[in-house]
Chain A
Amino acid sequence: MNTQHRHLIQTERLTKTYEDSGVKVPALRGIDLTIHAGEFTAIVGPSGSGKTTLLNIISGLDKPSEGKVWLDGKPVSDMSGAELSDFRRDHIGFIFQAYNLIPVLKVEENIEYIMLLQRVSKEERHRRVHDILRDVDLEDYAHRYPNKLSGGQQQRVAIARAMVSQPLMILADEPTANLDSKTGADLLDMMRHLNEEHGMTFIFSTHDRMIVEKARRVIVIRDGLVASDEKRN
């Protein structure tokens, strides 16, 4: 199936203004963006430029002050809280800077978590967990708790958790920030491989030059606006 031209994310004059002690602070000031399925995109910019806010709004975690967002053709603003939860559960995978695995769940249970919410059958869950653990090279760590893993291993579990439910896109907020450069590079290669092999869409919010170098599209956000949008082959 050719998914490359499918509009996965579309934003229209997206603005977000925070209020801090009565002072209005604009985070996004009218962002028009289209991201297609299968892209490997890095959103970069200095701290406070609005890239995390953009990611939050795209994923339905936050609401824009003005403007619209469509996810896979569906307007996010029309969705209720429960519908948004279900949409994120079924279509968006998250990778966070601090891994954010659930500490009381073992590796396989962390990966299984979203599928349990989706009520995927036990057999199917076990099959997918087994497959994804093999993909991220953590088969021997399935029964360990996160605190028994290194940072790189935890982030690989987080990637497995994000991917196992086969979402439309994966949003990764500074995924390599807490890792050493070699571990970060290995993980990035793995994500790039998954993108190329499975056609999964990756959107990074990052400062990491390594991610920027490997991304096929780089969107620079500055002062809440798209400063540049570069596509590479």
Chain B
Amino acid sequence: MSLYSRLAWRNIFRNKRRTYITGVAIAIGLAALIFLDSIYIGMANNMIASATASFTGEGQIHGKDFLLTRDPDKTVSELDRVTSELKNEPLVKGFSLRTLSQGMVTSTSNVNPVLLVGINPRTERGLSQMDDVIAQGDYFAGDDPQNIVIGRKLAELLEVGLGDRVVVTVSQAGSGELSQDLFRVSGIYKFNIDDLDGGLAFVRLEKAQALLGLGGRVNEIALSFHDPRVSQDEAHPFWAKYSTGGNEAQGWTKLFPALKAVYDLSMMATWILGLILFAVVALGIVNTLFMSIYERMFEFGVMRAVGTRPWGIRKLVILEAGALALLSIIFGVVLGFIITVIVSRTGLDYTGVEFAGVTIKELIYPVMQVKQYIIYPASVLLFTLLVGLYPAGYAARMSVTGAMKRTL
């Protein structure tokens, strides 16, 4: 260990109480930053999963302007080419074709507007959670084309149960002619999301295409990815590649702007927390170093008198700041890790809470990332060294005789 490192390390323990108080303050701040960042990421992932994995998918491809007009005639262009490319796309984990149209569902007791969704039950199983949330009946078991699966809330509104018959009325693509068919309720699902439970009705894709007069066309291709970051990256080349030939490919950030805003806000919250931490670090370090410098004024004077250059004094004070930061960081990282691990086992229960139009369905678990244990501690260290420049400069610039006259 060099002379100055040895001096700095020993100096920070000259006033142990002060060092511990400052160190603990910095450590708690860092631990809070690490833990809250992991919780924010966990919460964002949870909400994104709730929003995308329930039904929407992490991304979607539509015919141009379909989302604006909801006109069933605006279908995905060059469907065969697009599906063929998606099958060979290494980024894509799965995709499912859908038709979407506004319609009315009529029971013997009531009538309710719905979004009629035509799905392929097999591919949809890998993409949405429909099959996991069936509360009564089954998820398109067998091959009866007249089966319809509806949400519990819609079932209550229509006053229907399993096996009851309902009439679905839609207007056909292109012509606008009304088209009707009779379906039998074969399954009732419960997402615990009002919009999904009360506003959607699912039928087989081929049946919906026939009802709407779409032939083999579809209105939507829902996507899931191997790497969820693709869906968050609006600039990812995937979106441009599939936004051609009259189609629009969009990730969940475009499909759920409110959720994106919440996601951005959680990231911003981390930054704000980081800034508060750094302010605490700055004040703590500057205060501690100045107290230490004032106490050792005479000593600095003597060191300068016997030949220590101003740079040597500067280096010593900066190293003291670094040593203090290093101790605090070690404690803070360990503390942050322990808290995160504990909460990782228990999770935070916010299930049922609706936020930004998304209902949290599962426990929130903190997500550990390398940045929390590398970048944040390194930033604290770097910031501490930068902040240490101020008291270090003060100590280095002191006049030798002035310093030697001053004692506390």
Contacts and interface: CB of A to CB of B under 8 A. Distances in A.
A98 B305 CA distance: 14
B153 interface: no
Interface stretch (A82-90, A127-135, A174-182, A189-197): A82-90
Contacts of A210: none
Nearest to B399: A62
Interface string B308-347: 1111100000000000000000000000000000000000
A159 to B, nearest CB: 13
B202 to A, nearest CB: 75
A202 interface: no
Nearest to B397: A81
A102 B308 CA distance: 13
Which secondary structure characterizes the binding site on chain B?
A: helix
A22 interface: no
A59 interface: yes
B401 A89 contact: no
Nearest to A82: B309
Contacts of B404: 61
Interface in A107-143: 109, 113-114, 116-118
B305 A116 contact: no
Contacts of B14: 103-104
Q: Chain B, interface size: which category?
A: 20 to 34
Given A62-B401, A104-B7, A114 B307 contact: yes
Contacts of B306: 88-89, 93-94, 113-114, 117, 161
Nearest to B403: A61
Contact of A90 (B6, B307, B309, B401): B307
A116 B3 CA distance: 7
B74 interface: no
Contacts of B6: 105, 109
B302 A100 contact: yes
B267 interface: no
Given A102-B303, A113-B3, A85 B309 contact: yes
B6 to A, nearest CB: 8
B371 interface: no
B309 to A, nearest CB: 5
Contacts of B305: 59, 61, 88, 94
Contact of A85 (B3, B302, B304): B304
B381 to A, nearest CB: 22
A56 B11 CA distance: 28
A70 interface: no
Given A62-B401, A116-B3, A102 B299 contact: yes
Nearest to B9: A104
B316 to A, nearest CB: 11
* Residue with the highest number of chain A CB atoms closer than 10 Å, among B3, B10, B298, B307: B307
Nearest to A165: B307
Given A85-B307, A103-B14, A94 B302 contact: yes
Given A61-B400, A88-B305, A104-B14, 18 more contacts: A56-B401, A61-B401, A62-B400, A81-B310, A82-B310, A85-B308, A85-B309, A86-B307, A88-B306, A89-B306, A100-B299, A100-B302, A103-B299, A105-B10, A114-B307, A117-B306, A117-B307, A118-B307
Interface of B: 3, 6-7, 10-11, 14, 298-299, 302-312, 399-401, 404
Interface of A: 56, 59, 61-62, 81-82, 85-86, 88-90, 93-94, 96, 98, 100, 102-105, 109, 113-114, 116-118, 161
30 contacts: A59-B305, A61-B400, A62-B401, A81-B309, A81-B310, A82-B309, A85-B304, A85-B307, A85-B308, A86-B309, A88-B305, A89-B306, A89-B307, A89-B308, A94-B305, A100-B298, A100-B302, A102-B7, A103-B14, A103-B299, A104-B11, A105-B6, A105-B7, A113-B3, A114-B307, A116-B3, A117-B306, A117-B307, A117-B308, A161-B306
Instruction: Name the 5 nearest CB pairs between A and B, nearest first.
Output: A89-B307, A104-B10, A100-B302, A85-B309, A116-B3
